[in-house]
Structures are given as structure tokens and as C-alpha cells.
Structure 1
């Protein structure tokens, strides 16, 4: 049997967040929280009638409003208008009237089942979207790895060709050095003979 949905609320960044979910764990997953905000005291279950009504109207969908405001929760929200800090902000916050305490709205069994079914539908939709994103990321990672492997192979081939060319040049240079040495030896011998002949002719 599907668990009854509850409404959970937290604040992350510039927004207050709310979601209707069957458990704290499901709420954390919906918020994409990397740590347990409930244990840290940054999240809690709420029975605020307006928040409960908004969250139950879109089970599993993360709703938001500007942080610290008492506005209506919705799928899309503007940034907070007042991002100031310090004494002025504290004074404005203390002047803000507190909403009157109201009881949580009564939710019929039929509405609860409908909300739970919608939560499961939204949960499955998010799972499908997540798997699609993971598949796209895996495909992109494979494409990038193939491109890297291709570029590395081209670099390796070019280096091997360069090394072979360099080796051939070094071999040719060694051969030329040997020829130059041989030519120097041959010349020294011939020059010595020619100079001896020249000396004899002068005598």
C-alpha cells in the first residue's frame, strides 16, 4: 500500500523549497540534497495550510519561493527582492507580521490516494529523465574518449614517424661524418706525397 504523502520544507540558496513526498528520504532526493538536511536542522515537516495545499497540488514537484518570504510556493519563482543584510534587514524582518496560526487542511482519503499516485508518476518521470541524462552523459563520455583515443593514436603515429625520420637523419649524418673523416685521411696522405714531389722539383 502506498504511503501517505507529507509536506516537507527547507531553504537552499535564495529559495525556500517545499515538496509533498512519502518520506524525508524522498524529499531529500527531490531537492537533490547531498546531506541530511533534517538531521542538520535545515529541513522539517510542515503543516502550514498554504504550503501543504500548494505541495499536495503537485506531489513530488519541488516548489519554491524567495527565501525568507511568506509568498506562495510555485514551480517557478523570482529571486528575492531584498538581498540586503545587516541592521536594516533585521528591522524589516522584525516588522514583518507573523501569519495567523491555522490548522492544516483536511485531505480526504481519495485526495490522498490521488496525490500519492501523482507523486509516483512524478517520481517515475524524474527517474526516466535522470536515466536519459545519464545515457546522454555516457554517450558524450564515450564520444570524448573515442576522440581522445583517436588524437592519441595520431600523436603516437606522428611521433613514431618523427623518430624514424630522426634515426634516418642520424644514420646519414654518421655516414657523412665517416666519409668526411676518410676524405680527410686520404687528403692528408695525398697532400703529403704532392708536397714531397714539390720539394724534389725545387731541389
Structure 2
């Protein structure tokens, strides 16, 4: 009897991950985790009806949503925006600095702007790498799952063919035994009839 599925959730990078699995171990394997996230407090079983419904519709498939949000889980979620991640906005930095009245104010602002632009580009590249890494991991997991399903189906098909072959041999053996039993019954009936007839003749003489 297959084990009852439960819904488990964790976070990786910019995404919350959820999966319907029969055990914590199966959930860790689906996430590709190399350590026990449950013991470390980074993963848990979820009782949210909406999350459970989404994962149970696709058991074994890792679903995503932008980290820290309540958006619905899906196979390919969009990257979270800075507002979702509660990152400091670039427009807030100048507000904290009062414009200097000295002649060096403009060069300092330009330098800060260039530095902020480089930092932003670096962050975007990092996010893109993280997104590609998540997609590659998800694709690898799907491939692993498809191979496992194909192997199980092939094993089932081989077992079915073996069973049918054995059942056919048993049926043939049963038919041969039935024929022998009928033949023996006829032979015995003939012998019995002859011996009983001889007994009757001997009794009359």
C-alpha cells in the first residue's frame, strides 16, 4: 500500500520550495539537499490547505514561489522583486546624505552613482546565476523522476510478461494432467468392468 503523501517546505536562494512526498527523506532528495534541512530548522511540514492542494496536484514535483511571499506555488516561479525581498532602495541612499555645498559634492555623487550601478549589475548577475542554478536543479530532478518512472514501468512490464508466461505453462500442465486423469478413469472403468464380469461368471460356476 503506497504511503500517504505529506507537504514539506523549505527555502533556497530566492525561492520557497514545496513538494508532496511520502517522507522527509524523500523531500530532501527531491530538493537535492545534501544535509538534513529539517534537523537544521530550515524545512518543515506544511498544513496550509492551498499549498497542500498545489503540491498534491503534482506529487513529487518541486514547486516554487518568490521567497517570503504568499504567491501560489508553481513549477517555474518568477524571481522576487526588491520590494518582495525588502532590500534597501537605491533612491533612499541620496536622501540620507545632505548635498554638500563644497565644490567636491558633484564628483562624490557621481562616484557613488557609478559604484551603485556596478553593485546593482553584480547583484543582477548573481540573481541570474542563482535562477539558472535553480532551473538546472529542477530540470535534473525532473529528469531523475522521469528515469525512475520509466524504470519502474519497464520492471512492471517485465514482471507482467513473466507472470503471463508462467501462468500459460501452468494452464498447459493442468490441461495435460486433466487429460491423464480422464484417461486413467476410463482405463480403470474398463478394467473394473472386466474383473466384475469375471467375478460374476466365477460365482455362477
Report the TM-score, using the length of structure 2 for normalisation: 0.48
Q: Which structure has the bigger radius of gyration?
A: 1
Task: Give the number of the structure with larger relative contact order, counting CA–CA contacts within 8 Å between residues 6 or more apart.
Answer: 1
Report the TM-score, using the length of structure 1 for normalisation: 0.48
